[in-house]
Structure 1
Amino acid sequence: MKRTDKYLTLLGLFFFLLGLWHLCRFSPAATNVAPQRQETAKILLVPLDGRPPCRQFVIDAGHIAGLAVTPPPNELQDYYSQPGDTEGMKQWLSANIETSQAVILSIDQLLYGGLLTAREKEKTPAERQQLIAFLRQLHEKHPAVPIYAFSILPRQTPQDTIDGYWERRHLLAYSRLKGRQAEGLPVSTEELQKLEAAIPAESLARYLSHFEENRLLNEELIQLTKEGVFTQLVLGQDDGEPYTIPNIEKKQLQQYIHQQNLPPDKVFLTHGADEIALSLLSLIQNRRAGFKPRVLVKYAAPYMAQRIMPYMAVSIDETVKEKIALLGGEETTTAEDADFTLYISACDKDTGDVAARKTAVKQLKANQQEDAPTALVDLSKHFEASETVLPLLIEADYPVNNLIAYAGWNTTSNAIGTALAQASIYEACRQQTEDRQEMIGLTAANLTFLQGRILEDYFYLKDDIELVNQNLKKAGYINTADLDLEHNYRWANRMLQNSMQQHIASYKQTKSARTPVKFTSPAGDFTLMMQDLTAELSYPWPRTFEIWLHATPSFAMPSEK
């Protein structure tokens, strides 16, 4: 065993023993609580791909809602660059839809075998028509089962099959100029001509045909929605910028939807991709409960609303508005009219506004004292801990379990969509649950999801990912997005587990994590405290970009004296 590995193992053992001593010495008498919910419906999920945000998050959020989210077997699912079994997925869907109350369906998975494959592969018109025919037949056989489908517009980044360094740079520059030109902004005709001359004709044709194929596919899906095959269709826009060719396709689709006279509750365009299935689960729950979330939106600083964050084509404010609308909700202007508050911090150290984090702490504490349910979106321009609010909240002993949702995912649309979906599911259930034990189980399930997001979005994505990447690069492994399953992938997993377990051992002993929180509901008031927190962790794909994390917090109701 290497000296560093021995050190990390001993340090982890020390923190474990320290935590055990702390629990024995300081934990009050309490009644243990299980995050269990009575399942009231089965939802079939064909996820965008096998990554946890697209698959596991939806299953876990289903536990909050009391919905049994059922994904396809792992052997049918894609794995990294290996596409899923599309024919097997169709057979599984046909065999299971009859016993389900709704379907959340990724078109990219069913047609291409997942998002990564959809970015690279083309399908013929005949293959697209085969899928359209299958979907029509599926609806004809099971007309009572609503299908919530979603499809993703391609991102501006050229396909990996176009691998020349200058080709890719020229294509991106060309895309940006064409995007500006389409918006009526002045561009250099000479520069456009130079780029067209520099890009091999075959590469330019392949790049442009990718968007054309996707546009034709989405128009066919819109027609299916008009026919009633889909209860709702959501078109998501993958990583983008304000002026690029993907925005041209989006405008064309907006015009087509308008021509078909379809309202947003039938066809909805949104920015983002990975979080859409979770948003659709929330929409399903909202419709089942007759719940239309009223959301009060607050910012750590007013100007943050207009900030355009990395990988986004629109401002934070526009993203918030569309994500609320996707859930069937509305923005309110007062706390009295709101079901919950969506609090957003989006700091950029280059502008010197990290001081706004202190304002955020004060405002979040005020919300807590006013018993205002609050979901926190903790964004950072450079994806660094120094730009986030959570460490200051922990330092200030803010009871983190008072939050009804937390998200600090790197892409703004992902984080906002995830936090809103979780908060909406929880509030829809909380306001209608009259059985006290069900309410306690609901709250524990929501806190379990919350702790998972805190561990991944803050402790991993803002700290440990950099540690793992740096160590891999020091050892000579430059490409952390394509790990070797037989060598550095295993080492990366050990580093992930050791470093995260140290974070967890320290974090779970903080006053912020352990402070009991009082909850109110139609079923009566009760108090919960987190007594312990463990987690299983690994890399689901051979890259460090995301982790599979199963958080297991243990909650108890302190004994009343």
Structure 2
Amino acid sequence: MIIEVIKIIKILYVPLDERPCNYLYPQYISKTRKDIELIVPHKELLGNKKEPGDVNKIWEFVLEESVNADIMVLSIEMLIYGGLLPSRLHNLSKEEGSKRINNFITLKELNPLTPIFGFNLIMRTPRYNSSDEEPDYYEEYGEKIFYRAYLMDKKSRVGLNVDEEKMLNKICNIIPQEYLKDYENRRKFNLLINKSILELVEKDIIDFLSIPQDDSSVYGYTAKDQKVIYRNILKKNIQNDVMIYPGADEVGSTLIARALNYLLDRSPKVYPFYSSTKGPLIIPLYEDRPLNESLKAHILASGCQWINSPEDADFILAINSPGEIMEEATYQDNKDISYNSFRQLNFFVDQIYRFVNQNKPVVVADSAFANGGDLELIRYLDEYNVLERLVSYKGWNTNCNTLGTSIAAGVFGLEKQNQLYMRKNLLYHLLEDGLYQAKIRKVVTDDVLPSLGGNYFQLNGQDEKVSKEVKLRLKQLYEKIIKKSFKNISINNLKIYFPWHRMFEIGIDFEISKNI
């Protein structure tokens, strides 16, 4: 009897934070292969929303486990600030910041031949009032802080009209100076860390750096910081080792895909195609550039290559794009007419059907709407009997969140080593992206939370009751929309939880089994 010995590839991964999109999605994607071991810190070390992770213990974990890793994918935010939200709230001293930067040097000295892929965000500036993910004063002054910087930057670059000048003067007299000082000092510190990380790339301590842009804008604080970073990249001549593009919560998945491709010494060929003619040129919500430009960056960041021939492709990337403008998924029952007149969804799914029947691996990136999937597309895919034959379906949050995780799923799914887990991933994102985000989240928020004393940002300790409502409605909508697919698969022990005790994201836990 011959026993096949599989060489296990070990990837050390430190996520951006503890939410499923950063902590679990990369693990779920990696489990579609049998030869990958993702080495991840215990979740308890990673903090809880605004509470920072235990940076010192995480570094102890990284330094200890690094000797067993073939490659490392590391979040700078987690290893410097203790997570994404703590990076917007901290009061770190320059001395502590320098100490944590020096840990990367120690790490490389211990493992001189082990590649380090890092990711580091430029601090965002939301344009709305909410302290859910920002300092407390952002609840009252967030929108004004954004527009003050937006108008000041625009004034220095292209000038303002009379109304904009009046608005700027009014805003400047409203925001308390202590809040501006706190906010701007933190931005200066974070920019200093961004520049220090670029120095580590220049010195070959970090081998590749991804800088995804979270909620980017043409003018303002973030745009100004981006300009500084771009200038530093060019000055150091490290543009081949650093990439800046829209995104954030998908970056862990993108870089583990890049890590796998690097270790296998390959560059998978991707053939992308869109559901609409104008799709490549549309600027998605929460992003600052045409969809096609972001697509180029995500393909390159994952270690893949774009080709224009489906016959030569390793996998097909089917991008469901808007017709002319992008809207929020929750309003798709009354969507803009251009979703029909400027997009031919039937033709798009027919193409997917033909690729699948040619045994081409197909990944669907559902970017027609922001913050949720396209229910019409899911119905079409089910009707064509191709839904469960896809390598991946994703349609969550922003376009780039969807693109990055979709491409990563395509990279890991090429050999189809663990098809049962691929189907579990399909079902996970159909439940969360396609059903919860697109439909159920708003319904439960509007119809259930008021009677429980909760709201979108705070469940008021009623997590268990809300999860029961979500679970019930998920099952009902699933049975209503998905008629033909997954007939030989059972979903067992379905559980819903709320990582940050709000409605924006959920965690889903379930088991699947084949029906005999």
TM range (shorter): 0.7 to 0.9
SS in 1 for 2:121: strand
Among residues 297, 317, 336, which one is paired with 1:342 in the alignment? 317
Q: Who is 1:362 aligned against? A: 350
Contact 1:154/1:246 (<8 A) preserved: yes
Cα deviation 1:444-497 (Å, max 9, x = unaligned): 332322222222111211122123212333315353222233xx1221122122
- The Cα shift of 1:276 comes to 0.6
TM-score by length of 2: 0.88
CA separation in 2, counterparts of 1:174 and 1:299?
38
Q: Who is 2:465 aligned against? A: 491
Contact 2:73/2:117 (<8 A) preserved: yes
Structure 1 residue identity aligned to 2:504: F
- The Cα shift of 1:139 comes to 1.4
Q: Is structure 2 residue 500 aligned with structure 1 residue 541?
A: yes
Structure 2 residue identity aligned to 1:111: I
Q: Is structure 2 residue 48 aligned with structure 1 residue 68?
A: no
Q: Who is 1:393 aligned against? A: 381
Among residues 2, 7, 17, which one is paired with 1:49 in the alignment? 17
Q: Who is 2:113 aligned against? A: 144
CA separation in 2, counterparts of 1:443 and 1:385?
23
**Which is bigger in relative contact order (C-alpha 8 A, separation at least 6)?**
1
SS in 1 for 2:173: helix
CA separation in 2, counterparts of 1:551 and 1:307?
36
CA separation in 1, counterparts of 2:400 and 2:227?
19
Structure 2 residue identity aligned to 1:345: N
SS in 2 for 1:406: strand
Q: Who is 1:525 aligned against? A: none
Tell me the percent identity. Answer: 23
Flag structure 2 segments of 5+ consecutive residues without an equivalent: 327-334
Structure 2 residue identity aligned to 1:144: L
Structure 1 residue identity aligned to 2:267: K
CA separation in 2, counterparts of 1:73 and 1:327?
26
Equivalence map 1:475-514=2 (5 Å): 475=451, 477-485=453-461, 488-504=462-478, 510-514=483-487
CA separation in 2, counterparts of 1:494 and 1:243?
43
Return closer, same or farther for 1:279/1:388 CA change in 2, 3 Å cut-off: farther
Among residues 48, 52, 66, which one is paired with 1:97 in the alignment? 66
Among residues 406, 412, 427, which one is paired with 2:393 in the alignment? 406
Cα deviation 1:4-60 (Å, max 9, x = unaligned): xxxxxxxxxxxxxxxxxxxxxxxxxxxxxxxxx956122222111100110111111
Rg larger in structure: 1
SS in 1 for 2:232: helix
Contact 2:122/2:213 (<8 A) preserved: yes
Among residues 504, 513, 516, which one is paired with 1:554 in the alignment? 513
Q: Who is 1:228 aligned against? A: 204
Cα deviation 1:484-515 (Å, max 9, x = unaligned): 33xx122112212222244456667x32334x
Equivalence map 1:81-92=2 (5 Å): 81-92=50-61
Q: Is structure 2 residue 389 aligned with structure 1 residue 420?
A: no
Equivalence map 1:240-389=2 (5 Å): 240-264=216-240, 266-347=241-322, 348=326, 349-354=335-340, 356=343, 357-381=345-369, 383=371, 388-389=376-377
Q: Who is 2:490 aligned against? A: 532
- The Cα shift of 1:91 comes to 1.4
SS in 1 for 2:285: coil
SS in 2 for 1:362: helix
Contact 1:482/1:542 (<8 A) preserved: yes
Contact 1:156/1:175 (<8 A) preserved: no
Q: Who is 1:130 aligned against? A: 99
Return closer, same or farther for 1:70/1:169 CA change in 2, 3 Å cut-off: same
Flag structure 1 segments of 5+ consecutive residues without an equivalent: 1-36, 431-438, 515-529
Contact 1:153/1:236 (<8 A) preserved: yes
Contact 1:379/1:410 (<8 A) preserved: no
Contact 2:210/2:242 (<8 A) preserved: yes
CA separation in 2, counterparts of 1:80 and 1:221?
24
Q: Who is 1:114 aligned against? A: 83
SS in 2 for 1:153: coil
- The Cα shift of 1:384 comes to 6.2
Contact 2:498/2:507 (<8 A) preserved: yes
Structure 2 residue identity aligned to 1:167: Y
Among residues 167, 171, 175, which one is paired with 2:149 in the alignment? 175
- The Cα shift of 1:166 comes to 5.6
Q: Who is 1:16 aligned against? A: none
- The Cα shift of 1:409 comes to 0.5
- The Cα shift of 1:101 comes to 1.6
CA separation in 2, counterparts of 1:371 and 1:252?
47
CA separation in 2, counterparts of 1:390 and 1:180?
42
Q: Is structure 2 residue 429 aligned with structure 1 residue 442?
A: no
Contact 1:48/1:114 (<8 A) preserved: yes
SS in 1 for 2:73: strand
Contact 1:162/1:203 (<8 A) preserved: no
Cα deviation 1:140-191 (Å, max 9, x = unaligned): 1222322221111111127733526663222222233245346546554454
State the number of aligned residues: 490
Contact 1:39/1:68 (<8 A) preserved: no
CA separation in 2, counterparts of 1:183 and 1:342?
38
Q: Who is 2:183 aligned against? A: 207
CA separation in 2, counterparts of 1:217 and 1:205?
18
Q: Who is 1:22 aligned against? A: none
Among residues 149, 157, 160, which one is paired with 2:126 in the alignment? 157
SS in 2 for 1:53: helix
**RMSD over aligned Cα, in angstroms?**
2.5
Contact 2:452/2:460 (<8 A) preserved: no
Cα deviation 1:199-228 (Å, max 9, x = unaligned): 222223333333322221011011111212
TM-score by length of 1: 0.81
